Structure 1
Amino acid sequence: MADNLTNTAENRAMDWLFGTSTTAPTLPLKVALVTAAGSDSTAGTEVTGGSYARKNVTVAAATSGGVANSADLVWTAMPAGTIVGWEIWDSAGTPIRWWYGPLDANKTLASGDDYKIAAGGLTLSIS
């Protein structure tokens, strides 16, 4: 998914590349699911209810300007609704949103359904 960094992430990447001060994300990074898409500057509408909670995401070292999740991301006992996208947040006391994007296809869930992004299914690229 190219060019879906938030404004905050873009600014921090530029600061890092050009040697000015920057602060790295507070790990672990977490994947959030959204029912309404966000933008560079505005967060989407995050899923609420059921047993939904953001999931920690791990990736291997980048190759060819990209990474993918290295383990399945599984949400169980979800609330009813339609998931349209995802966001990546850090774990700071006041979390910072770093990345966002749409699903390949919206996913409608009934109350109690599980949702899974298989390992390698969440790909992130800056190329």
Structure 2
Amino acid sequence: MPGSLTNTAENLMLDWVNGVGTPTRPTPPLKVALMTANGDDATNGTEVTGGSYARQTLVVPAAVAGASSNSANLVWTGMPAATIVGVEIWDSAAVPVRLWHEALPSSRNVLAGDEFRLPAGSLSQVLS
């Protein structure tokens, strides 16, 4: 499921590639947030709240052929009852910056206390 860079991330990348200004690298670690309503390149989605939900750390290897994906399973335990429709990737700055968003291929319902899992390789970041 390939995602989309946010306008913020696109601008950072273009400024870096073009040698314009001094773009700031996102603050690691990157975090995966689950969404109950998807946003777009300019607007945040609606993040899950409640239960034991917390953003999970994204682990990715170096990109190959313009693509990368999560190298470890992402697991949320003690979820609140929710319908998960997408994910967003945020940095860990004091005021976090949203970098990337992706709709799930199909929404997933979770009950209170359930576990939600995204297997390794399921979040693809592709530049073309």
TM-score scaled by structure 2?
Answer: 0.96
Query: Which letter does structure 2 place at the counterpart of 1:13?
Result: M
Counterpart residue number, 2:12: 12
**Residues 1-127 of structure 1 correspond to what in structure 2 (within 5 A)?**
1=2, 4-20=4-20, 21-127=22-128
Alpha-carbon separation, structure 1, partners of 2:43 and 2:89: 13
Unaligned runs of 5+ in 1: none
Query: Which letter does structure 1 place at the counterpart of 2:37?
Result: A
Deviations 1:69-120 (A, max 9, x none): 0111000010001000000000000000000010111000111110000111
Deviations 1:2-45 (A, max 9, x none): 5x111100100100010121000000000000000001111000
RMSD of aligned residue pairs (Cα, Å): 0.7
Aligned length: 126
Alpha-carbon separation, structure 2, partners of 1:54 and 1:81: 15
Hey, which bits of structure 1, 4+ residues long, moved more than 6 A? Answer: none
Alpha-carbon separation, structure 2, partners of 1:48 and 1:15: 34
Query: Which letter does structure 2 place at the counterpart of 1:75?
Result: W
Unaligned runs of 5+ in 2: none
Identity of aligned residues (%): 55
Q: What secondary structure, in the 3-state scheme, does the structure 1 residue paired with 2:5 have?
A: coil
Alpha-carbon separation, structure 2, partners of 1:90 and 1:124: 15
TM-score scaled by structure 1?
Answer: 0.97
